[in-house]
Each structure stands twice: as structure tokens, then as C-alpha cells.
């Protein structure tokens, strides 16, 4: 007895005739008849009476069919599970991002994604880029977004965003009329800086040092989002990722492109040597769709990679 014989028996019982079973299974009627004979031989059951070329089910066949039906229900469940896993995996996506995108790009993308896929559960974390990378590399995350200076061993890394840095200013600042704020314009200005270990901070410091420019650093913080909040509160100005400034625009904060141009770049990480599930690919698409900036946010067009 094998699965093919059971499948043919099921088709005969479901469709009442061998000819119709053959048609449904797209095989010949002699193949159906042979499989039924082999099944009867292997089970020792007389499953059908043969009358005028027709197969008439016996009582044994009907009892056996009950058991077969239960097995087919299990197979149908397995087929459905395979289809679901192929598109949705476990039905959960594990995702993490650096904080700069967690208050703007990510919420908008997750909202769009969940409207189209309400059956998928998303676990989202905001973490340091190095930790996000380690979690993706170990398979504990399905996708991550990190700063571009992150070490990338053990992951599949793809360019994600590329935002030109802007200067966040209080709305009444003396530089508010400038189309572009030059580094030299910040000499002596109260300045909220990123942490010394930050890549953008190091680039800004190098620009200031080259031009003998000395802003008055009043605070240091890890995140552009915090700089925007502090500028909005009137503590000074700061060089920030423009995506983090958007929630504050129209309040007590304006932004202008910083010159010379420097860029906040991020990477999208996936586990190495593993094709992402379709549902993960859909989330990535939504992230990309909501990562663009408009002129109102940056005072210019900012390209994305």
C-alpha cells in the first residue's frame, strides 16, 4: 500500500466512478483500475464489486474510506501549512532598527504593512547598530536597519537610506533666512552635538577643525532625535539627520542643509545565505516606500540609494 494508491482510491470514492477519478487525476482509467487492484491485494480487502465495467464500493470500502478521509484532512492541513510557511513563515517578523528611523520611517512603514497583512505579528526593537547586526547574524532577527559604519561580517547588507545632514535651528535663529548654513556660520553658536564616537560627529569635528571653527558645545547626546528636541526647546542648534526633524517642523524648529555636505547613511541587514520570505520582502518594500524625504523636510531634494 502506498500514498498514490490511497489517492486514487479516494478519488474513486469521491467521484463515484473510475472514469471520473481518472479525469480528475489526469491519468488513464486502466491506471486507476490497476492501482485499485494493487490496493485490494495489499490490504486484503474487497473494496469494489465489478459490474458491467463499473466499480461499486463494498461496505469494507466505505469503512476504509472513513479512515482515508481523516488522513486526507491531515494532508490538506499540511499543504495549507506549507503554503503559509512559504509566504509567511511562522506568521511573525522580528525586526530592529537604529533609533533615528524609529519615530518616523518605521512607524509609517509598519502601519502600511499591517493594513495589508493584519495576520502577521511584528516584533520590533530599537537597538544600537552593533547589537542589531549581531541579532541578524545569529538569526534572531529577520531584518534590521543599522548605521553604515557597522561591521558587517555574517550578514547580507544592502544600502538603504542616504540623507544629507541638515542644521536644526530654533525658528527665530539669526540664520533662519539662509538657504544653506555653512560650517563657518556656526562659529561661536550654542551647539548641541552628537556623541564623540559617532561617525557624523567625527566628520563635523574635522570640518570645524579645518576651518578653525569653534561652536560653543552646550550638550552632547547619542541621537539626532534628542538634538531636535533640545533645539526645539531653545538650547542651541545642531547637525542632525533630517528624518528625525520632521515631527518638530512647524513648531519651534527649522532646518537648513549643512555645507559642506555630509550624509547619514543606513544599511538594511538580512541573515546571510538565506533567501528572505516573501512577507519579509513585503516589509522591506514598505520601509523603502516610506524612507523618502520631501523638500519641506530638508529644504532641498535628498536622494536615496
Residue range 209-238, pLDDT digits in tens: 999 999 999 999 988 999 999 999 999 999
Residue range 124-142, pLDDT digits in tens: 999 999 999 999 999 999 9
What homologous superfamily is domain 92-163+265-298 in, according to CATH? Periplasmic binding protein-like II (3.40.190.10)
pLDDT band at 77 (very low <50, low <70, confident <90, very high): low
C-alpha span between 269 and 87 (Å, rounded): 20
Do 3-88 and 166-261 come out as alike in CATH topology? no
222 in Cβ contact with 228 (< 8 Å): no
- At which residue does the C-alpha cell 525586526 appear? 95
Q: What does pLDDT average to over the chain?
A: 88
Question: Which CATH architecture best describes the domain 166-261?
Answer: 3-Layer(aba) Sandwich (3.40)
Domain parsing of the chain, residue ranges: 3-88, 92-163+265-298, 166-261
Alpha helix segments (H runs only) across the chain? 3-15, 18-25, 29-43, 59-88, 105-116, 129-137, 199-210, 224-232, 242-245, 278-289, 295-298
55 or 163, greater pLDDT: 163
Q: Is the pLDDT reported for residue 195 higher than 80?
A: yes
pLDDT band at 246 (very low <50, low <70, confident <90, very high): confident
Task: Tell me the CATH number for domain 3-88.
Answer: 1.10.10.10
C-alpha span between 302 and 240 (Å, rounded): 14
pLDDT band at 87 (very low <50, low <70, confident <90, very high): low
**What share of the chain in percent tops pLDDT 90?**
57
**pLDDT at site 24:** 87
Amino acid at each position: 500500500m502506498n500514498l498514490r494508491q490511497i489517492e486514487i482510491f479516494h478519488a474513486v470514492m469521491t467521484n463515484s466512478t473510475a472514469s471520473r477519478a481518472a479525469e480528475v487525476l489526469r491519468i488513464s482509467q486502466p491506471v486507476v483500475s490497476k492501482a485499485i487492484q494493487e490496493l485490494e491485494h495489499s490490504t486484503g480487502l474487497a473494496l469494489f464489486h465489478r459490474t458491467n465495467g463499473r466499480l461499486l464500493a463494498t461496505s469494507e470500502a466505505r469503512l476504509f474510506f472513513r479512515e482515508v478521509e481523516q488522513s486526507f484532512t491531515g494532508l490538506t492541513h499540511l499543504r495549507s501549512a506549507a503554503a503559509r510557511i512559504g509566504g509567511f513563515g511562522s506568521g511573525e517578523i522580528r525586526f530592529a532598527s537604529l533609533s533615528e528611523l524609529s519615530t518616523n520611517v518605521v512607524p509609517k512603514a509598519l502601519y502600511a504593512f499591517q493594513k495589508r497583512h493584519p495576520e502577521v505579528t511584528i516584533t520590533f526593537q530599537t537597538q544600537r547598530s552593533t547589537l542589531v547586526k549581531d541579532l541578524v547574524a545569529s538569526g534572531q532577527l529577520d531584518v534590521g536597519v543599522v548605521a553604515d559604519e557597522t561591521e558587517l561580517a555574517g550578514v547580507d547588507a544592502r544600502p538603504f537610506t542616504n540623507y544629507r545632514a541638515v542644521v536644526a535651528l530654533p525658528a527665530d535663529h539669526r540664520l533662519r533666512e539662509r538657504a544653506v548654513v555653512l560650517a563657518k556660520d556656526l562659529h561661536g553658536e550654542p551647539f548641541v552635538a552628537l556623541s564623540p564616537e559617532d561617525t557624523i560627529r567625527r566628520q563635523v569635528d574635522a570640518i570645524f577643525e579645518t576651518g578653525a571653527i569653534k561652536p560653543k558645545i552646550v550638550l552632547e547626546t547619542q541621537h539626532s532625535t534628542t538634538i531636535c528636541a533640545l533645539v526645539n526647546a531653545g538650547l542651541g542648534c545642531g547637525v542632525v539627520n533630517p528624518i528625525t526633524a520632521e515631527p518638530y517642523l512647524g513648531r519651534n524648529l527649522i532646518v537648513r542643509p549643512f555645507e559642506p555636505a555630509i550624509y547619514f547613511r543606513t544599511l538594511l541587514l538580512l541573515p546571510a545565505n538565506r533567501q528572505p520570505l516573501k512577507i519579509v520582502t513585503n516589509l522591506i518594500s514598505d520601509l523603502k516606500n516610506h524612507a523618502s524625504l520631501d523638500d519641506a523636510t530638508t529644504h532641498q531634494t535628498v536622494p536615496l540609494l
